[in-house]
């Protein structure tokens, strides 16, 4: 008898694997570019606009965010933004001087860096909360990179190289933003005024004390002269001499990555608190242009520092206008007040720097990292101790090295696991994660969870063959679930073909399950599917298992046979079959099964069974004559006195359909499990089997 299980190539439309012709290069390239550069499809809302004017407006708003929020601006928002802008200025002045000192550059450069960049960010930034400025970590890294020797040898060259590194940082960040390379913090709102005004108080008190006691005459080191005036141009000082270019590129790219990661992470954290969204690509572009323009106007690297952003958030900022207010305030400071800060003691700046550095250490987060991921904790500690006891460069190199090592291990040793069937279901899961999952005799079902390419192909091949060798029973089928394989190269394809050749020599068939679009296209273009056969490619593991049982297995399942004739059967009534005999051998009456069984299969070891009817069958179940519907395929697991994981039988009661999920024998009764409840009926009500027309045939 021919089996009724369709293979993948003969499945109904919408059920089987799609073997349509591979896409041409242009279509694939366009799709890949769209997925790589614009994963969130930002231009979809623009394309849906009805006319060209609105499309132009939306495009402008997307690339220049100020055009999105400025038309909606009002005096109420201005009131909050002015307050926030003045507040963050009080933090920007002492931090600018302190961090410039940390970078070993003139303090006035730190003030310059809080004047021009805020205006750029207000126009291009996507965060309503982020406040831009200099940061301690990047300032220290700049000083470490260029070294004290260069500073002593030629302070002017040192400053020019920092401007050049800032330009490189800007170009790098802008490029990443253009190419789309892109947890909440606990804050104490009631105390934010203390944290905001503290550095300014330190500076003002220090200036006052140093001035009154003529501190310079008593050995107190101060910032020194600060001249009035706005940022002078510095574009002419950019130095791309090949002698210094490697050093400049190193400083620019490394500090650019750190500043970008810090700024975007902080912006997103505060955006979550306000139920807003921050676009990482726009942020990178904004940071990039901010640093490019900054390098032309005597500024050094700026990003979004946490302390200043937290103050901005708690001061009630509504839009990026607070950065504009800060820029205006800094302009006033540079024009009129800068000389007053020349008396600032360096020891006061050191206190501000230490306070900022200590604020970067989060003990709770370190402990959380230790509990969740030990390797990440090792990376964190290597960075901390490397920076603390060696240098910023070595600390970063060690931590990045560990991270790269981990990434390489993920690539070279991809996630693979062996699957088993979850009892009473058609789901297959990792047998280590789900110990209750049962392996199937004669089958090895493996799942791959990463791209397959030259770096891991040897490992994958050896791992598959080892699983085959470790099987205690003879293996007839290897099922490879490729749903987690996002891509495959030619080496990977050759590896799969090599595994298949080895398996064929052992008498084992390879079956492919659910290959993704790109993977299937490469399989077709490389003639892999042609060599393996379309009948060995399936959409789901359950489909593959059923097809292996009925279509592909060298040992075909036994077809149905009649048990004998009934007394004077009515026309069209089919007599009971061996499928009904299986019911009686397990303690069930034959009336649970209609007479229209075409084929069946049962695993005598596990009890898994599949019944195939001539079509959908509707009968009235005794004794209450509930209407029951049998699908053309009924599956489950039968043991003595119990049927579990039943699928394919539904009964209509209380004006809706319910699935019968299990049946068990209890004395002279049968207990039906229906929709989370049970119903008990006498077994004798099911002594006769019905056909789909309601005609009976006794056992």
Q: pLDDT of 276-324, one tens digit each?
A: 878 878 888 899 999 999 999 999 999 988 778 887 888 788 899 999 9
C-alpha distances out from residue 168 to 118, 123, 165, 257, 258, Å: 19, 21, 5, 11, 14
C-alpha distances out from residue 45 to 26, 33, 55, 280, 508, Å: 24, 19, 9, 18, 52
pLDDT over 60 at 3, yes or no: no
H-state helical runs in 471-516:
490-505
Q: pLDDT of 55-73, one tens digit each?
A: 777 778 778 888 888 888 8
Residues 336-347, mean pLDDT to the nearest whole number = 69
Half-sphere CA count of 664, side-chain side, radius 13 A: 7
Quickly state the pLDDT bin for 45 (edges 50, 70, 90): low
Instruction: Tell the CATH topology of 414-552.
Output: Transcription Regulator spoIIAA (3.30.750)
Residues 251-256, mean pLDDT to the nearest whole number = 87
pLDDT of residue 1: 34
Choose between 307 and 566: higher pLDDT. Answer: 307
Quickly state the pLDDT bin for 356 (edges 50, 70, 90): low
**What is the spatial distance between Cα 106 and Cα 127, in angstroms, rounded to a whole number?**
30
Quickly state the pLDDT bin for 568 (edges 50, 70, 90): very low
Q: Could you tell me which of 283, 325, 282, 329 has the C-alpha nearest to residue 302?
A: 283
According to DSSP, residue 551 is labeled: I
Quickly state the pLDDT bin for 166 (edges 50, 70, 90): very high
pLDDT over 60 at 145, yes or no: yes
Residues 144-160, mean pLDDT to the nearest whole number = 83
pLDDT over 70 at 438, yes or no: yes
Choose between 264 and 696: higher pLDDT. Answer: 264
Quickly state the pLDDT bin for 88 (edges 50, 70, 90): confident
pLDDT of residue 32: 65
pLDDT of residue 621: 79
Residues 455-471, mean pLDDT to the nearest whole number = 85
pLDDT of residue 142: 87
Assign 591 to helix, strand or coil.
helix
Residues 452-472, mean pLDDT to the nearest whole number = 84
**pTM above 0.75?**
no
Domain boundaries of the chain, sorted by first residue: 77-360, 362-412, 414-552, 578-698
pLDDT over 50 at 555, yes or no: no
pLDDT of residue 564: 34
Around Cβ 194, how many Cβ atoms within 10 Å?
10
Residues 370-396, mean pLDDT to the nearest whole number = 78
Q: pLDDT of 198-214, one tens digit each?
A: 555 555 555 555 555 55
Mean pLDDT estimate for the chain: 78
CATH number for the region 578-698 comes to 2.30.240.10
The C-alpha angle 532, 475, 466, rounded to 5 degrees, equals: 85
pLDDT over 70 at 215, yes or no: no
**Cα end-to-end distance, the chain, whole Å:** 24
Quickly state the pLDDT bin for 187 (edges 50, 70, 90): very low
Q: pLDDT of 631-686, one tens digit each?
A: 878 888 888 889 988 888 988 887 788 889 899 998 889 999 987 788 888 888 88
Residues 180-192, mean pLDDT to the nearest whole number = 43
């Amino acid at each position: 008898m021919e089996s009724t299980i369709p293979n993948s190539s003969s499945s109904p439309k919408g059920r089987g694997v799609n073997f349509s012709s591979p896409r041409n290069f242009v279509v694939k390239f366009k799709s890949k570019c769209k997925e790589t550069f614009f994963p969130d499809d930002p231009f979809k809302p623009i394309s849906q606009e009805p006319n060209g004017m609105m499309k132009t407006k939306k495009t402008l708003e997307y690339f220049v965010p100020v055009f999105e929020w400025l038309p909606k601006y009002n005096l109420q928002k201005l009131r909050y933004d002015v307050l926030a802008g003045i507040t963050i200025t009080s933090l920007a002045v002492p931090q600018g001087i302190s961090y410039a000192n940390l970078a070993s550059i003139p303090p006035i450069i730190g003030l310059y860096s809080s004047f021009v960049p805020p205006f750029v960010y207000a126009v291009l930034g996507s965060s309503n909360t982020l406040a831009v400025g200099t940061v301690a970590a990047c300032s220290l890294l700049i000083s470490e990179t260029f070294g004290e020797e260069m500073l002593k040898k030629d302070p002017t060259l040192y400053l020019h190289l920092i401007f050049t590194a800032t330009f490189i940082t800007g170009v790098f960040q802008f490029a990443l933003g253009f190419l789309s390379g892109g947890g909440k913090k606990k804050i104490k709102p009631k105390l934010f005024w203390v944290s905001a005004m503290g550095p300014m108080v330190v500076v003002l008190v220090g200036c006052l004390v140093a001035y009154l006691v003529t501190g310079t005459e008593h050995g107190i080191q101060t910032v020194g002269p600060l001249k009035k005036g706005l940022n002078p141009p510095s574009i002419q000082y950019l130095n791309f001499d090949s002698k210094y270019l490697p050093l400049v590129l190193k400083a620019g790219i490394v500090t650019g990555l750190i500043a970008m990661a810090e700024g975007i992470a902080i912006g997103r954290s505060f955006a979550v608190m306000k139920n807003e969204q921050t676009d990482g690509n726009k942020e990178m572009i904004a940071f990039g242009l901010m640093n490019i323009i900054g390098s032309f106007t005597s500024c050094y690297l700026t990003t979004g520092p946490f302390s200043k952003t937290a103050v901005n958030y708690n001061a009630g900022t509504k839009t990026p206008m607070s950065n504009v207010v800060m820029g205006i305030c800094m302009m006033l400071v540079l024009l009129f007040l800068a000389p007053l800060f020349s008396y600032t003691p360096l020891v006061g700046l050191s206190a501000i720097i230490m306070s900022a550095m200590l604020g970067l250490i989060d003990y709770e987060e370190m402990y959380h990292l230790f509990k969740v991921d030990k390797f990440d904790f090792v990376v964190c500690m290597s960075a901390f101790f490397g920076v603390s006891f060696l240098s910023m460069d070595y600390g970063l190199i060690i931590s990045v090295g560990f991270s790269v090592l981990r990434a390489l291990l993920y690539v070279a040793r991809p996630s693979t696991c062996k699957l088993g069937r979850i009892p009473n279901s058609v789901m297959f899961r990792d047998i280590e994660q789900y110990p209750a999952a049962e392996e199937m005799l004669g089958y090895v079902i493996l799942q791959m969870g990463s791209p397959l390419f030259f770096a891991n192909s040897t490992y994958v091949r050896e791992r598959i063959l080892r699983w085959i060798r470790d099987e205690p029973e003879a293996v007839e089928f290897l099922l490879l679930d490729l749903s987690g394989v996002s891509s495959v190269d030619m080496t990977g394809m050759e590896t799969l073909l090599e595994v298949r050749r080895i398996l064929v020599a052992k008498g084992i068939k390879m079956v492919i399950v659910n290959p993704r679009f790109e993977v299937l296209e490469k399989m077709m273009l490389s003639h892999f599917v042609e060599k393996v056969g379309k009948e060995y490619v399936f959409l789901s593991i359950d489909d593959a298992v059923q097809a292996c049982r009925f279509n592909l297995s060298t040992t075909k399942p036994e077809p149905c046979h009649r048990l004998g004739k009934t007394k004077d059967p009515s026309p069209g009534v089919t007599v009971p079959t061996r499928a009904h005999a299986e019911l009686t051998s397990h303690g069930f009456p034959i009336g649970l099964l209609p007479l229209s069984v075409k084929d069946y299969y049962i695993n005598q070891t596990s009890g898994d069974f599949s019944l195939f009817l001539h079509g959908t069958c509707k009968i009235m179940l005794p004794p209450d004559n509930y209407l029951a519907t049998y699908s053309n395929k009924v599956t489950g697991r039968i043991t003595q006195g119990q049927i579990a994981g039943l699928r394919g039988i539904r009964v209509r009661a209380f004006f809706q359909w319910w699935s019968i999920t299990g049946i068990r024998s209890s004395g002279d009764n049968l207990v039906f499990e229906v929709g989370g409840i049970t119903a008990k009926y006498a077994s004798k009500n099911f002594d006769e089997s019905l056909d789909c027309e309601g005609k009976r045939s006794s056992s």
